[in-house]
Amino acid sequence: MAGIRALQKRLGKLEDAEKPRPSPFVLLFGSFDAWVEQEVLPGIESGALDHRDMVSVVNSLRAWEANGTWNANYALREYVTYFS
User: What tens digit of pLDDT does each residue of 5-49 get?
Assistant: 887 888 787 777 677 777 888 888 998 999 999 999 999 999 999
How do residues 46-63 score in pLDDT, each as one tens digit? 999 998 999 999 998 888
Range of the domain at 74: 21-83
- What's the pTM? 0.60
> Dihedral (C-alpha) 66, 71, 73, 74: value to the nearest 10 degrees?
150
Q: What is the pLDDT of residue 74?
A: 58
Per the structure, the count of domains in the chain is: 1
Of the CA atoms within 13 Å of residue 63, those in its CB half-sphere come to: 5
Polymer length in residues for the chain: 84
Residue 14 domain flag: no
Q: What is the pLDDT of residue 43?
A: 94
Residue 4 domain flag: no
